[in-house]
Amino acid sequence: LLFEVRNLGYKTESVEQYVSKHTDGTGFDLVFDSVGGANMLNSFEAAALNGQVASTVSMCELDLTLAHFKGLSLHVVFMLIPMLHNFKREKHGEILRNLSQIVESGGLRPVLDEEKYSLEQVAQAYARLESRQAIGKVVVEN
């Protein structure tokens, strides 16, 4: 089972309640954390024993005790490595081409907040994001 941290209804239920409801309390085999920071602890809590946590935002100091006791694997994804270090750029290009095909075929649709903003309303868009009321990505249109 895959759990994506940003989909957690954190205002209505705890991680423990969500895990109990969707996995009978065993946890998710794979957790994708696109929030990062202190929220990584939620990812560790949501993961099953010997589960895997993948994060795109892991620049933080964090106590890894829970990850240790659950035997979790932590995978950090930093998409700029090929560009910054000229490391496996061809493979990175192939991954991006494949992702582009998935997107163009409709296989990946981002979750977008119901509110939309113009460029002149960027301060309001940022306030919506900061309020944690937004569900998904906040869109600012030019």
Q: Could you say which of 26, 60, 77 is where a domain stops? A: 77
| Pair 65, 134 in one domain | no
For the chain, the domain total comes to: 3
* Cα distance between residue 30 and residue 4, in whole Å: 8
Range of the domain at 136: 111-142
C-alpha distance from residue 79 to each of 56, 104, 128 (Å)? 8, 20, 27
Q: Are residues 88 and 64 in the same domain?
A: no
- Token look-up 């460029």 returns 119
Q: Indicate if 36 and 89 belong to the same structural domain.
A: no
Query: Closest Cα to residue 15, out of 55, 45, 54?
Result: 45
pTM above 0.95, yes or no: no
CATH code, 12 = 3.40.50.720
Both 16 and 70 in a single domain? yes
pLDDT for 9-57, tens place per residue? 455 678 898 899 889 999 999 998 888 888 899 999 999 999 999 998 8
Answer yes or no: are the C-beta atoms of 96 and 88 closer than 8 Å.
no
